[in-house]
Amino acid sequence: MKKIILLYCLLSSWAYAVPQPPSSAQLVTQIQKNGAKSVIAKLYTDDEKEWLYVLEKIEKGNDDWLKIASLLAPGSDADSAESLATAVAMAIPHNPSGVLAILNHENILPLSTDVVCALPFYSITRPQFNQYIVDSIQALYKVAASKSCIDTMVNTLGRSNGFKEDN
């Protein structure tokens, strides 16, 4: 029994020693306190683990995480802006109205309709891409004021030279 208690204590203390990724509420506070650029720089440390975690959360389309995307956008640089736009685009099938709510209409990068709805993908397979198009357009058709995003997707497809998996 003593061994079990000791093992439990060791595992419990180890669990508290492992840093936890930030919650959306923690990120809002950090952005308000330190600015988006500073928060992005911190998220990029340690092999970008926290940045990738944040992007995964944004891709799921939860409103709290979409808000994080909109707060981070002004502090983004070329790389972070690109990955942020891709994450928001991936959220369209999950929460099209939430995505449309955070897109700015002044076409300011990275969260403009012209970027997010223009299929900003660089590492996606043909089947994933095809499914994304179907799912996104179906989801967008159910939301008022989605015409601009749908038009951007369709026009992007119409201008493309075909799909290439090895971008």
pLDDT in tens, 105-137: 665 678 999 999 999 998 899 999 999 999 999
The answer to whether 59 and 87 have CB atoms below 8 angstroms apart is yes
Write the pLDDT tens digit of every residue in 15-28.
455 578 999 999 99
Contacts of 73 (CB under 8 A, 6+ apart): 36, 81, 84, 110, 111
Strand partners, 112: 104
Q: What pLDDT was estimated at residue 144? A: 93
Give the pLDDT band of residue 167 (cuts 50, 70, 90). Answer: very low
Q: What pLDDT was estimated at residue 14? A: 47
The pLDDT of 88-95, averaged and rounded, is 98
Q: What pLDDT was estimated at residue 2? A: 55
The answer to whether 61 and 97 have CB atoms below 8 angstroms apart is no
DSSP 44: T
In this predicted structure, the answer to whether residue 3 has a pLDDT above a threshold of 60 is: no
The pLDDT of 134-147, averaged and rounded, is 96
Crossing angle (nearest 10°) for helices 49-59 and 36-43: 110
Write the pLDDT tens digit of every residue in 27-78.
999 999 999 999 999 999 989 999 999 999 999 999 999 999 999 999 999 9
Q: What pLDDT was estimated at residue 136? A: 98
The answer to whether 74 and 108 have CB atoms below 8 angstroms apart is no
Cα within 13 Å of Cα(151), Cβ side: 6
Structure tokens at 89: 């685009």
What end-to-end distance do the CA atoms of the chain give, in Å? 57
Q: What pLDDT was estimated at residue 61? A: 98
User: Taking the model in full, what pTM does it have?
Assistant: 0.85
